Amino acid sequence: MKEFLFVLLLAAESSCMFLNWTCDRSCVCHGDLKFTTCSHDDLTQLPVKVPPSTELLDLSNNLISVVPKHVFSSNRKLRVLLLQNNNISLVEDSGFAQLEFLQKLDLSWNRISVLTEGFSVGLAFLRELQLSHNQLTGLDSRSFLHLDGLQRLNLTNNSIQSMEVRSFSSMSSLRQLHLQDNQLTSLRSGTFSMLRSLEVLNLAGNQIHEMELLVFNPLTSMTLLNLADNQLSTICFKTFLSIQTYSTHILLRGNPWNCDCELQRVFRKLRSIQRIFLDDYYNLTCREPAVLHNHRLMEVDTELCIAETVTVLIITITVVITVLAAMLMGERKKKKRRKGFSPVLPGGCGQASCLTE
């Protein structure tokens, strides 16, 4: 009986605490569900009054332009914060600093163009960050400095042209990185050096035309690498050979492949590696040479390349034989010269004639 009364007392106290908080007139507060929605209400600024027990706060589809410093200091229990589809162009330093329990932050479909070091302060336990459809142009070592526990990062549909080598250095727990539909042109070794837990790397829809040899080497957990719809015309065998995983699926369709013999040799060797799966190999089409335009790579006659290899081999052997023959002839001529030479002794006669006199 005492236990029952104690539970009733706690419930009453919780209800009183909730009643003491006035829900913002633009929001609908579900105190019992710890859920508050303020979406589609033309809000232009923060903060809003919501119960301190709120764990999910939906502020999406408004007209908010700035996230001020410490604006969520009264909502420390938030676990999910939805701010997508606003006009946010500025997140002030420490804007999310008090949200130590936050696990998901959605800032997609806004106008954010830069991430300062203070952006991620206080978000050490964040698991998912949505930043797709913003205006980011570059990433550096300060962009995600405090996101130690992040597991999923979505940067799709920005205008990212460059990534510094240490842009992701603090995210050793990251499992999914989505960078599709940006403006990347190259991938440098060291860019993904700390992402040993990464399983999915999506780079589709960029303008990538070159990749350094060891760029994927640190990704020892990667199961999916999407490089579709880029500007790759050729690839280096060692770039993919360096992927040290048990099983990696690679997507490469939609690139302007130059289907020369070298490319065919590379793909032939890649397909022989048991831990690498080229899932869309049968859909790869040639851009060059002109005679093979729009032909599928798998349909290109490999006998032509075999014939080319044989021709090169024959030429090489012929050159080697010619050089060896020239060397042998040179040696023979030297020997003949030595035999035909007789030194002259004192007295004006050769050695042979003097002995016979």
**Percent of the chain's residues with pLDDT above 90:** 70
**pLDDT over threshold 70, residue 204:** yes
Q: What is the pLDDT of residue 327?
A: 75
Q: What is the pLDDT of residue 337?
A: 67
Q: What is the pLDDT of residue 346?
A: 52
**pLDDT over threshold 90, residue 13:** no
Between 157 and 308, whose confidence is greater? 157
Helices (H) and strands (E) in the chain, counts: 5, 20
Mean pLDDT of all residues in the chain? 86
Between 3 and 65, whose confidence is greater? 65
Taking the C-alpha atoms of residue 223 and residue 277, their distance in angstroms, rounded to an integer, is 10
Distance of CA 19 to the CA centre of its chain: 49
- Which helix H or strand E contains 351, and what residues bound it? helix 351-356
Which domains does the chain show, CATH number per domain? 63-311 (3.80.10.10)
Taking the C-alpha atoms of residue 65 and residue 44, their distance in angstroms, rounded to an integer, is 7
pLDDT in tens, 51-65: 999 999 999 999 999
Taking the C-alpha atoms of residue 47 and residue 62, their distance in angstroms, rounded to an integer, is 13
pLDDT in tens, 43-101: 999 988 889 999 999 999 999 999 999 999 999 999 999 999 999 999 999 999 989 99
Binned at pLDDT 50, 70 and 90, residue 10 comes out as: very low
Binned at pLDDT 50, 70 and 90, residue 307 comes out as: very low
Between 343 and 280, whose confidence is greater? 280
Q: What is the pLDDT of residue 302?
A: 64
Q: What is the pLDDT of residue 9?
A: 35
Q: What is the pLDDT of residue 356?
A: 40
- Which helix H or strand E contains 16, and what residues bound it? helix 2-19
**pLDDT over threshold 50, residue 300:** yes
pLDDT in tens, 109-151: 999 999 998 999 999 999 999 999 999 999 999 999 999 999 9
Tell me the C-alpha to C-alpha distance, in Å, between residue 29 and each of 24, 52, 55, 212, 337: 8, 11, 11, 52, 109
Select, from the ranges 9-18, 141-150, 219-228, the one with the highest average predicted confidence (pLDDT): 219-228
